[in-house]
Amino acid sequence: MSSYSKKKSCDFVVTAENTGKVLALSQRFLPDALYCFTLKHFSNLLKKEDCTVGANVSKKSKKRQVGKHFRPNIKKQKPRRLKLRPLEPHEKEMAEAHHTLVLRFLRVNGLPMEDYYDVVIFRYLLAVEKWFRRPDLYRYGFTSIAWAAMSSALSHEREKQRRRPQTVSLEEPIPGCDGLTWGDAITQRNLTYTPYLLEAAV
């Protein structure tokens, strides 16, 4: 590796016998990347120009070059989501011992059990699995972990319900429109494509 001394952010001084290519990566000299520099003939000042990595540079690596610096291709791995599986004996005991927490969550939020029990119970069981798989969660307490999991499940269910199309009657008045119904708002062009109106007309 060439001897050098850093002078500025992108300028380096090398000895005359070590001209040519210098090993560097993002202005830090490392043995695993090759950057090309050109030497000014009237001095020992070396400036970085059109850096490339290695002798054979692929198109993908060229796209990853930002300005004068090289951006490594590092893919961020998303955390794997837990999938519900048959509980172990110790997990079953934990789930049964704290099952009243599920009932209390439904009661506090004013949710009917027949509609929302299935929504929160599966996230509660996943919280039991997470509790035993991640000992770093012990400092928060199981009640906090389970409550947060059920709250997340409830918010996702409500968001899903908001995205669903709502069915309204054509005879229902539109709020704030002085008795105008939804049927009055439909144009004649759209009425010709309504099958049940065509059948009623016949």
Residue pair 47/27 in contact by the 8 Å Cβ criterion: no
Report which of 117, 114, 140, 142 is spatially closest to residue 128, judged by C-alpha positions: 142
User: Is 77 inside a domain boundary?
Assistant: no
Residue 79 falls within a domain, yes or no? no
Same domain, 149 and 172: no
Q: In this structure, is residue 116 part of a structural domain?
A: yes
Question: 109 lies in a domain?
Answer: yes
Residue 106: left (phi > 0), alpha (psi -120 to 50), or beta? alpha
Which range of residues forms the domain containing residue 175?
168-202
Domain total of the chain: 3
Task: Determine how many CB atoms are found less than 10 A away from the CB of residue 17.
Answer: 7
Residue 80, domain member (yes or no): no
Residues 172 and 144 in one domain: no
78 assigned to some structural domain: no
**Are 22 and 44 within 8 A, CB to CB?**
no
Q: Are residues 188 and 148 in the same domain?
A: no
Helix, strand, or coil (residue 24): coil
Cα Rg of the chain, angstroms? 33
First to last CA, the chain: 91
Considering the entire predicted model, what is its pTM?
0.47
The answer to whether residues 156 and 135 belong to one domain is: yes
Does 136 map to a domain?
A: yes
Q: Cα-Cα-Cα-Cα dihedral of 21, 25, 29, 32, to 10°?
A: -80
Q: Which two tokens mark 28?
A: 């830090």
What are the pLDDT tens digits along the chain (202 aa)? Answer: 444 444 444 444 444 444 444 444 334 443 333 444 444 444 444 444 444 434 444 555 544 444 444 444 555 555 556 566 788 889 999 999 999 999 999 999 999 999 999 999 999 999 999 888 888 888 888 999 999 999 999 999 999 988 888 787 778 888 888 888 877 777 666 665 556 555 555 5
